[in-house]
Structure 1
Amino acid sequence: MPKPSKGPRLASSPAHERLMLANMATSLFAHGRITTTLPKAKRLRPLAERLITFAKRGDLSSRRRVMRVIRDKSVVHILFTQIAEQMEQREGGYTRITKIAPRRGDNAPQAVIELVTEPLSAKKATVKEAEAAAKVAAKDEDAEVAAAADAAIADGAAEDAVNQAVDANESGADVAQADEAAEDLEKTADQADEAAEAAEEAADVAEDAEEASKK
C-alpha cells in the first residue's frame, strides 16, 4: 500500500479518507463549527478553505467543482450565498482551529474548527482600500502618460500635415487633399488631448481617495 505524503492516513483507504473529509466539510459549512481530533482538523482546513475560494468566484464551473465534494445541495447553496458573502473581504484564513481538552477514553487531542465570520477591523479595511486606490492611481497615471504621448505624436503629425499643405499650396499641388489630411490629423490631436485630460482627472480623483483613506 502506498505511503501517504501528507502525514498518517486518517482512514483505512484514500477513498474512505476523501469521503470522511467531505462529510466533515459538509458539517462545517452547515453548522459553522465542528469538534474533531486535531489531525483531522488540520487535514480538513485546506480542503474547506479551497471550497470557500471556489464559492467566492460564484460561477457555474466553481459550483460544479464544489459539488464534486459537497453532495448536499442545500449546504452548497449556503456556501455560495451566505458564507461566500461573509468571506468577501478576506483573502484567506477562512477557518480557525482551537485546541481543547483531550478526548475521554483514549486521550486523543481534540480541536474545534470553525468558520471565521467576524468582519475585518476598520484599520485592515482602510489599508485594503488604500492599496486598491494606489493601484487605481498607478493605472490612471500610466494611462495619462500614454495619452500624453499619443497627443504629442498627433500634434507633431498635424504640424507636419499643415506644413505639407502650405508647401502644396505654394507649389500648386493637390491643395484640397493636403488640407483634408491636415484637418483629420488636427481632429486626432484634439481627441488625444481630451483623453489626456480625462486620464489626468481620473488620476486626481484616485489620489484624493487615497489621501482620504489615509486620514
Structure 2
Amino acid sequence: MPKPTKGPRLGGGPAHERLMLANLAAALFTHKSIKTTETRAKRLRPLAERLVQFAKRGDLHARRRVLATITDKTVVHELFTVIAPQVNERQGGYTRITKLGFRKGDNASMVQMELVLEPVTPKVKHSKTSTVTAEKPVVEEVVVADAAVEEPVEAPVEADAAADPDTTDTK
C-alpha cells in the first residue's frame, strides 16, 4: 500500500480527509475565518488557495471543478461572486494563519485561519538609474554677464593703530 505523501491522515482514511477538508474549506468561505488546529489549517491552506484560483478564473469549467470538492452550491456561488472579485488583484496568499495558543483539553496548537480580503497595495519598482536621477535635485545656474563685481576697499590699518595708542606693540 502506498504511503501518504503529505503527512499523516487527519483522523481517518483518505476519503474522510477529503470530506473533512472540503467541509473546512466551505466553512472558511462562508464565515471568512475559522478556528481550527494548526495541522488541519496547514493541510487546508493548499486546497483553499487552489479553490480561490479556480474562482478567480470564473469560467464554467472552474465552477464545476470547485463543485467537485465543495458540494454546497451556495458556498460556491459566494466564492465566485463575492470572494473572487475581492482577491482579483492578489497574485497569491489568499489565506492567513495566526497562532492562538493551545487547546485546554489535549494541548493541541490552535490557529485562526482567515481569508485575506484586504486590497493589495502594489509595490513600486525602483531601478538604479531612475532612483539616482530622481534623488538628485536639479540646480539651475543663473549667469549674469554684465554685472560689475566691486572689490571691497580695505581701510588703512596704520591709521587705526595711530589713533589708539593702547593697541600698538612695543618691543
Fold match by TM threshold 0.5:
yes
**Could you tell me how far apart the structure 2 residues matched to 1:20 and 1:2 are?**
21
Paired residues, what number?
A: 127
Q: Deviations over 1:66-86 (max 9, x none)?
A: 000111111101000110000
The whole-number CA distance in structure 1 between the counterparts of 2:11 and 2:62 is 28
Residue number in structure 2 paired with 1:17: 17
Q: What is the DSSP-based 3-state SS (H/G/I as helix, E as strand, rest coil) of the residue aligned with 1:22?
A: helix
Q: Distance in 2 between matches of 1:67 and 1:61?
A: 10
| Unaligned runs of at least 5 residues, structure 1 | 131-213
The answer as to 2:51 corresponding to 1:51 is yes
For 2:35, the equivalent position in structure 1 comes to 35
Please give the secondary structure, in 2, of the residue aligned with 1:35. Answer: strand
Q: Counterparts in 2 of 1:74-85, with a 5 A limit?
A: 74-85=74-85
How far residue 101 of structure 1 moved from its aligned partner, in angstroms, is 1.2
Offset of residue 22 of structure 1: 0.2
TM-score normalised by structure 2 residue count: 0.71
Who wins on radius of gyration, i.e. which is larger? Answer: 2
2:140 matched to which residue of 1? none
Determine what percentage of the aligned residue pairs are the same residue: 63
User: What is the match of residue 73 of structure 1?
Assistant: 73
CA distance in 2, matches of 1:9, 1:3: 10
CA deviations 1:48-83 (Å, max 9, x no partner) are 000000000000000000000111111101000110
Distance 1:3 1:59 in 2: 35
Which structure carries more helix by proportion? 1
Query: 2:52 and 2:12 mapped to 1: Cα distance?
Result: 27
How far does residue 11 in structure 1 lie from its aligned partner after superposition? 2.4
Unaligned runs of 5+ in 2: 127-133, 135-171
* Structure 1 position 2, deviation (Å): 3.7
State the SS of the aligned residue for 2:97. strand
2:161 aligns with none
Compute the displacement of 1:12 (Å): 1.1
- Which TM-score applies when normalising by structure 1? 0.57
* Correspondence for 1:109: 109
Compute the RMSD of aligned alpha carbons: 1.7
Displacement after TM superposition at 1:3 (Å): 2.1
Q: Following TM superposition, by how much is the alpha carbon of 1:112 offset from its aligned partner in structure 2, in angstroms? A: 0.8
Partners of 1:60 and 1:18 in 2: CA distance: 23
Moved over 2 A (4+): none
The 2-side partners of 1:79 and 1:90 are apart by 15
For 2:50 and 2:74, the matched residues in 1 are separated by 19
